Structure formats: structure tokens, C-alpha cells
């Protein structure tokens, strides 16, 4: 069973020293998740898990206020701009809201307002209440009634200029309607994508072999951050106006009045917004919106309450980075009950067998869920393992009634089994001992002490297994390998099913076989498309040794390891000869490979296993007949960074990340993806996040791009 993390010490039991260490850990983790959510549009944890991290950090700071620093998560909003677009400094900061998770939190929120304003129990506080849209915050600046700038929230003080893209949204007027529009007017709100549009976009993305988005919020953010506005224009984005920044004059004296004015000016506002006059009405509104949540065509994750009177908002002001006059009442993760109809096995590129639960379709958070990952054999048995959610001891059986949750409203998962509804004939699930492919090759459990791999079951068929063949082919044509344009997931699967491309070498014989295949007659293709495909293939008949090694798909040989091997041997001939000797257990060859920096037993064993298979050797031999493999460039040993370990982070402006890594490697430096005590330099561009914080913590030298170029002499 996988090892469990050490339980957290209760906040009221922490010593000041423990609290200080814990706050540093939480700050780094929150910063990492902020970077993934705001700048990469790819959240790594659920909203509920993120909120729990923030709550713990806030609770520790409340108990030890002397430990709060300017870099504390409570003092920040979002993440720094990515550097992909021009920066825009907000005239009025775009701040975040405090969260309420329980009804008592809302009661306390209203009580704090009443105390602060010194209001009697009989005096009514009117609130404006609205659904909390799960989208991308945006600030639109109008001057003389004309739209001049659109900026993302960024870190709250500075965002990204996405004006050209925002102009493509039909919900955003280029000129404000009506008379008496203030000379300067900043309208703020949320860019979102409807669920229907999101599903349709993902179908198009999948068909084109492009990125499939995790949820509507990610798709909206990704669509808005396109360098080409025509791409944004092709994606149906909406905008709800609900707030403001700098205003040269105020058209109304209440929150609800401002919402009405936005609509008058030509903006779309949320029709579910209403005013409430008591805690009871706020909670009733929250319950009503939660019950309607699954029927809305856009994602929401709570309800926002704001004091309606603007003069009271001004008196209440702010505490830290949040307003006293507003709060977000979050929804709990949505759950649903359904039946597990079957368990299917999917086989990945490395042969890992992943069980997938097939559900009776059920709506969860407005999305129809039919499939859930069951992680590995141990998870199904109820004895833990990667992704542990299910309570220990509760195995999962076909026919079970299960409780399904979308973690953070993104990833479906089974969180419990309703045992009293289990069918009498339901039997424990037995994980397959052979691969579901037609070869029925043996499945083995790898017992690696202390690592999660021990929970994995793998097919031993390698390239002989058709499931692995397709995954290997996808890796082969991917951007980091051969990077063949026009060969995406859809094309690989279709060509494989037709029997036209069964192994990498077949790609390079397609043109010679086309008199028989007649690809231009296939639906979706034409003479021009086929010619472009052949041109893209022919452009990749010459390839660098490191890319070629990576493209082979040897287990445990990623980009960095492939580069180390390429530089260690210099040529394909030398590397190939060494691999054959390693496969034959030649001790001298194994020792030579072990001497290469960053190469150890795991890689050597993987290389031996790969080249020990005659099937794999045949594939490699047939492939290399069609290629020119360029020798690796030997790293220099007499440079200022030779032998140094370098980490690049942030959005580099003077070169791409790949160019920076390649340049550093040519100069003899070791490029790493993480910061440790062994790191010599961290080169940080705009938007650097957790790696920069880790460097500061460890005392690692941090360089700007200009300082890096000066160090290497502009090489």
C-alpha cells in the first residue's frame, strides 16, 4: 500500500517555530497552484482542496500575526502576469473576496458589518446577491465612452493587455450607450464560456488533435490568451458585468443601481442578481441558486453578497486584500448517486493498465458524467494507492451504487460505495492478469519499494501490444520528438486502424505507397492536405540524436535523459552499439553508460529491456533506413557555466524556454526542472512563481535574463 502523508498538526497546537515552517510550505504550495490556475489555465488541485490550503494558512496567520509578511498568500491576489502579453497596471487594484463555507460564516459576516457601522438590530442592511461565475476576471477601461484597454486581473495590481481579443466578444460594447457616460469608466466582470459551447469546442479540439480543455473556465482563459484574435473570435465567449474600477463620476449610489446602469450602457448582467434584506434571505438565495446550479448553462461555484449602499461600502473599506463589505459563499463539491455498470481497462504507452469505471450517466455540476478513473488495482480493492479518495476497506464492485463527485467541479471520482444497495450477486473485481489486447500478454505488478509504481499493473507486450503501439506513435510524432505537423491523435488512430501506419518507419513510406493508398480520396483530405502532410514528413527525415532517442519511447528516458545520452555518446552509431551491448549484459558497456551524468541503474535497465526485445530492434532498424540522425553537439567545458546546474522559470522574453535550455546545455551546464540545494543559478523571467520562492529560501543565486546573457558572454 502506498505510504500516507504525515497528519497535519492542529493550528491551535502549533508552536511559533512550527507555524513559521508551515506558513512557508503553504505559501510555496499556494503560489504553485496560483501559477497553474491563473497563468497556465491548468489547475492541479480541486477548488475545495485549494480553499483548504488557504483556510489553514489564514488560520495560522490569525494565531501568529507576527509571522505575516508581504509575500504571504493573504497579501496577494491571483498570480503575476505571465509575460505573454503587455502588462497593464490597474488604476484601482482588482482584489479578491473572503470566502464563507458554512451558514454561520454568513451570519458572522453580517454581524461584523453591523458592529463596524454601529447599526442597531432593527436597522436593515440591504445586500446585492449574485451567482459567482467561475470564469476569468476582466477590467474594461472606457475613455469618452470608447473601449481603450482590456486587462486580466493578474496579481491584482498588474494584469495582461488582451484588448484585441476582448473586442471580439459580442457581450462587450466598443462604445457605451446613453448620455452622461463618465469620461473615465472601468467596467469589471467575468469572461466565461457556456457549458454547451465548451463541449462543442472540445469536440473540435479533439478532432483536430489539439488541446482538450479541462473545464469551461480553462477554455475561456485559454481562448482569451491567444496571440491571434481570430482564434478568440472563433470561440463563443460571454461577459457578465458586475463591478467597476476607476470612475470619474458615479452614475448610481447603490450596487444594484450600478448593475442596472451597466445594462443600460449595453452590457449583459446576470439576471439572477437580486437584493436581500436579511441573513435569512441571503441563505435562502444561496439555497435557491445551488438547486438551480446544474440547470445553468455556465459554471458557478458560489454566491457573492455585497452591501448595496456604496457609501457604506466606502466606510467599511478593506482588510488586507479583501473588502469588508463583500463575501463569496462557496458551494460544497457537487455529488450524485449512480450505478457502476462496468470496469474497462485502458493501456497507456508504457503498458500501465488503468481501470476506468463506466457509470449509468448522471448529471454532476451541470455535466453528464459517464466515466471515472479507478486509478489502480489497490484502489478498487479499497486498500489505498494513488489518488486515494475512497474510504479504506470499501472495495468497488460492478453493479455497486456509488457516490460520484467532480473534484473542484473538474475531475469525476467515486468517493463512496453505498453498501446497503450492493447487489447480492456482486463479486469482488479481479484485475486482469493478461492485457486486454488480442495478444493477451502477461500483466505484472512492479514492486518498487517506497514508490507508487508498485501499485501499477503493466502489460509486458511493449511494441507488440496494439494499445501501446498507438501511444508510442503519438509520442513519436509529438512536438518534443519528431514534431510532424498534421499528425495528431485522430490521424494516428485512423491510419493505425487502416493498417497504413503500424510502426514509426511506416510514416516515412506513406508517400511511396500512396499510389495504392490514395490518401487524397479520404474524407477530410484533398490533394493539398496530402501534399502538406508529405512535406511535413519529409522535413523530419533529418533529426537530432537527442530528439530521436526520446522519440523511441524507451521507458524512463525523457527529454533530459535523452539529451544526456546523446551528448554522452555523440552519434547514433555509438549509442546504438552501446545499447546492444547493454542488452547483452556487457559489464563494460553498462559501466560506461553509468558514468554518464544523470544516468543510473533505472535507465540502464530500461535501455537493456528495450533493446533486448527483437521486436523493438526490428522497429528501430526499419526506421533508421529512412533517416539522417545528426550527431549531438558536444558541450563546452571551458565556459563560465560548465558543470553548473541551472533552472529557468517564468516567461522568458529574449528566447524561448527550449532555446534557453539548449544554449545552457551547449555551454556545459546541467539544466534542471526543479530548484534544490544543488542548483547554482535560477534564471527568472516575468511571472516566475514557486521556483523563485524556493530559490530565495535556499539562497540560490537568481539572475535576470540580461544577467544570464552577461554571464555566458552573449553566447
Name the residue among 197, 165, 190 with its Cα closest to residue 267.
Answer: 190
Q: Which residue, among 204, 201, 203, has the nearest Cα to 220 in the 3D structure?
A: 201
Considering just the CA atoms, what is the radius of gyration of the chain in Å? 29
Neighbours of 277 (CB within 10 A): 12
Helix axes 16-34, 47-63, angle to 10 degrees: 150
Active site residues: 132
d(CA 333, CA 434): 37
Specify whether the CB–CB gap between 366 and 377 falls below 8 A: no
d(CA 515, CA 512): 7
Q: Which of 253, 193, 176 is nearest to 41 (CA)?
A: 193
Q: Is 625 helix (H, G, I), strand (E, B) or coil?
A: coil
Find out whether 356 and 348 touch, Cβ atoms under 8 Å: no
CB atoms within 10 A of CB 644: 19
Identify which of 595, 299, 279, 189 has the alpha carbon closest to the alpha carbon of residue 289: 299
Task: Count CB atoms within 10 A of the CB of residue 21.
Answer: 11
Structural contact between residues 481 and 453, judged by C-beta atoms closer than 8 angstroms: no
Q: Residue 11: helix, strand or coil by DSSP?
A: helix
Cell of 236: 463563443
Q: Rounded distance, CA 404 to CA 414, Å?
A: 5
Q: What is the 3-state secondary structure (H, E, C) of 207-235?
A: HCCCCCCCCHHHHHHHHHCCCCHHHHHCC
HSE of 704, CA atoms in CB hemisphere, 13 A: 4
CA 186 – CA 90 distance, rounded (Å): 10
Q: Which residues lie below 8 Å from residue 430, measured CB to CB, with a gap of 6+?
A: none
Residue among 588, 622, 590 nearest 606 (CA): 590
> Distance from CA of residue 62 to its chain's centroid?
31
Distance CA 653, CA 310 (A): 42
| Residue 288 · residue 116 · CB < 8 Å | no
Rounded CA gap, 144 and 167, in Å? 17
Instruction: Round to whole Å and give the CA distance between 312 and 1.
Output: 56
At 47, give phi and psi (nearest 5°): -60, -40
Q: Is the dihedral of CA 412, 418, 419, 422 positive or negative?
A: negative
Please state the φ and ψ torsions of residue 650, each to the nearest 5 degrees.
80, 180
Comparing CA positions, the residue from 662, 666, 700, 665 lying closest to residue 683 is 700
Q: What are phi and psi of 378, to 5 degrees?
A: -65, -35
DSSP codes, 628-686: EEEPPPPPPSSSTTTT-EEEEES--SSS-HHHHHHHHHHTTPEEESS--TT--EEEE-T
Helices 587-594, 572-583: inter-axial angle, 10-degree rounding: 120
Amino acid at each position: 500500500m502506498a505510504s500516507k502523508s504525515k497528519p497535519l498538526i492542529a493550528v491551535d497546537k502549533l508552536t511559533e517555530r512550527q507555524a513559521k515552517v508551515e506558513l512557508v510550505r503553504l505559501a510555496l504550495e499556494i503560489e504553485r497552484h496560483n501559477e497553474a490556475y491563473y497563468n497556465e489555465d491548468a489547475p492541479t488541485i480541486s477548488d475545495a482542496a485549494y480553499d483548504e490550503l488557504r483556510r489553514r494558512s489564514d488560520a495560522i496567520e490569525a494565531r501568529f500575526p507576527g509571522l505575516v509578511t508581504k509575500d504571504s498568500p493573504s497579501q496577494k491576489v491571483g498570480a503575476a502576469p505571465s509575460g505573454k502579453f503587455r502588462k497593464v497596471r490597474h488604476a484601482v487594484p482588482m482584489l479578491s473576496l473572503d470566502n464563507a463555507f458554512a451558514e454561520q460564516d454568513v451570519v458572522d459576516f453580517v454581524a461584523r458589518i453591523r458592529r463596524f457601522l454601529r447599526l442597531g438590530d432593527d436597522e436593515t442592511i440591504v445586500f446585492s446577491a449574485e451567482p459567482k461565475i467561475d470564469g476569468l476576471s476582466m477590467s474594461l477601461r472606457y475613455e469618452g465612452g470608447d473601449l481603450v484597454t482590456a486587462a486580466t486581473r493578474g496579481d491584482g495590481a498588474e494584469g495582461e493587455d488582451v484588448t484585441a481579443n476582448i473586442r471580439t466578444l459580442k457581450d462587450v460594447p466598443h462604445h457605451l450607450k446613453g448620455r452622461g457616460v463618465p469620461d473615465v469608466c472601468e467596467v469589471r466582470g467575468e469572461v466565461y464560456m457556456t457549458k454547451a459551447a465548451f463541449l462543442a469546442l472540445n469536440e473540435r479540439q479533439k478532432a483536430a488533435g489539439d488541446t482538450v480543455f479541462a473545464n469551461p473556465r480553462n477554455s475561456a482563459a485559454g481562448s482569451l490568451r491567444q496571440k491571434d484574435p481570430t482564434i478568440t473570435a472563433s470561440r463563443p465567449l460571454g461577459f457578465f458585468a458586475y463591478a467597476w474600477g476607476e470612475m470619474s463620476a458615479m452614475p448610481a449610489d447603490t450596487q444594484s443601481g450600478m448593475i442596472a446602469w451597466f445594462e443600460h450602457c449595453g452590457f449583459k448582467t446576470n439576471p439572477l442578481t437580486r437584493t436581500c434584506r436579511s441573513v435569512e434571505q441571503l441563505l435562502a438565495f444561496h439555497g435557491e441558486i445551488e438547486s438551480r446550479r446544474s440547470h445553468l448553462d455556465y459554471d458557478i461555484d458560489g454566491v457573492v453578497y455585497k452591501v448595496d449602499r456604496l457609501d457604506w461600502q466606502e466606510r467599511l473599506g478593506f482588510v488586507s486584500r479583501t473588502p469588508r463589505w463583500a463575501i463569496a459563499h462557496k458551494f460544497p463539491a457537487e455529488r450524485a448517486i449512480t450505478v457502476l455498470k462496468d470496469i474497462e481497462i485502458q493501456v497507456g504507452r508504457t503498458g500501465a493498465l488503468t481501470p476506468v469505471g463506466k457509470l449509468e450517466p448522471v448529471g454532476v455540476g451541470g455535466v453528464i458524467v459517464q466515466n471515472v478513473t479507478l486509478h489502480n488495482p489497490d484502489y478498487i480493492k479499497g486498500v489505498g494507492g494513488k489518488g486515494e479518495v475512497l474510504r479504506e476497506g470499501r472495495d468497488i464492485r460492478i453493479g455497486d451504487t456509488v457516490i460520484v463527485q467532480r473534484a473542484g467541479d473538474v475531475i469525476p471520482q467515486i468517493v463512496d460505495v453505498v453498501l446497503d444497495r450492493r447487489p447480492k450477486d456482486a463479486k469482488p473485481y479481479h484485475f486482469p492478469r493478461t492485457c486486454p489486447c488480442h495478444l493477451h500478454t502477461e500483466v505484472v505488478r512492479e514492486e518498487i519499494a517506497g514508490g507508487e509504481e508498485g501499485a501499477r499493473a503493466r502489460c509486458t507486450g511493449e511494441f507488440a501490444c496494439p494499445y501501446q503501439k498507438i501511444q508510442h506513435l503519438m509520442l513519436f510524432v509529438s512536438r518534443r520528438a519528431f514534431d510532424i505537423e498534421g499528425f495528431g491523435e485522430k490521424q494516428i488512430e485512423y491510419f493505425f486502424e487502416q493498417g497504413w501506419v503500424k510502426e514509426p518507419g511506416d510514416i516515412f513510406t506513406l508517400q511511396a505507397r500512396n499510389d495504392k493508398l490514395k490518401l487524397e480520396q479520404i474524407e477530410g483530405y484533398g490533394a493539398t492536405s496530402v501534399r502538406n502532410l508529405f512535406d511535413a514528413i519529409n522535413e523530419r527525415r533529418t533529426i537530432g540524436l537527442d530528439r530521436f532517442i526520446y522519440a523511441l519511447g524507451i521507458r524512463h528516458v525523457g527529454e533530459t535523459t535523452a539529451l544526456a545520452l546523446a551528448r554522452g555518446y555523440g552519434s547514433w552509431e555509438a549509442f546504438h552499439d552501446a545499447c546492444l551491448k547493454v542488452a547483452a549484459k556487457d559489464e563494460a558497456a553498462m559501466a560506461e553508460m553509468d558514468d554518464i551524468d544523470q544516468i543510473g541503474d533505472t535507465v540502464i535497465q530500461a535501455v537493456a529491456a528495450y533493446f533486448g526485445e527483437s521486436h523493438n530492434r526490428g522497429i528501430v532498424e526499419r526506421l533508421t533506413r529512412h533517416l539522417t540522425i545528426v550527431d549531438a553537439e558536444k558541450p563546452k567545458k571551458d565556459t563560465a557555466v560548465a558543470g553548473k546546474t541551472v533552472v529557468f522559470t517564468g516567461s522568458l522574453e529574449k528566447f524561448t524556454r527550449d532555446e534557453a535550455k539548449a544554449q545552457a546545455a551547449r555551454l556545459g551546464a546541467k539544466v534542471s526542472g526543479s530548484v534544490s540545494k544543488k542548483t547554482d543559478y535560477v534564471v527568472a523571467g516575468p511571472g516566475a512563481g514557486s521556483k523563485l520562492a524556493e530559490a530565495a529560501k535556499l539562497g540560490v543565486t537568481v539572475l535576470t535574463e540580461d544577467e544570464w546573457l552577461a554571464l555566458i558572454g552573449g553566447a
